[in-house]
Amino acid sequence: MDKRIINILLVMAVLILLAINIKIFIDNHEETAGIEQNGNGIENSMIQNNNQDDIQNTITSKVADMTERSRMQTYFGTFISYIEENDYESAYNLLNENFKKNYFSTLEQFETYIQKYPKDIAVDYKEIERQGELFVLTVEIKDVFNKEAQTITQRVVIRELGVNQFTISFQVE
């Protein structure tokens, strides 16, 4: 009887120790990885990266579940958001390469052109049509706070390369 109880206790002890050891090993491993990356001047730790990956995966899933119309509006909305946040480089990087060559060979040229847009932008989507793998949107760009300001009507061409991956070109006036 004593021997059986001792055996059961020993089995439980071994399993608990095993589980604790593994848990500690995994936690340590993740922390070490984060510290190593910080030590190399990389801003995001492994945990942060995981969170960012999770956020990115969530965004990707949400975009993938959208209809084509909603996806196109989301893509153009992303482009406009960059402009509103003065992140011109990110907006510029979304442009089609040939379009850039034709109209905005430098970021500065793009920045100069984009100044015609209002500071706080509202977008009205008037029309959307598909041309093969391209989408042509007709949009009205308005000033959120100034209804007197001139409305800019533009056609926008979007090519979807994958979920949440796209290039943009637009009617330059």
Query: What is the contact surface with another protein in residues (CB under 8 A)?
Result: 3, 6-7, 10-11, 14, 18, 22, 57, 60-61, 63-68, 71, 96, 98-99, 101-103, 130-134, 136, 155-157, 159-160, 163, 167, 169-173
Quote the least distance from Cβ 8 to another protein, whole Å.
10
CA dihedral 85, 87, 91, 92 (to 10 degrees): 150
C-beta of 144: minimal distance to another protein in Å?
Answer: 24
DSSP one-letter code for 118: -
Q: How far is the CB of 169 from another protein (least distance, A)?
A: 4
| Cβ proximity to another protein, 120 vs 130, nearer residue | 130
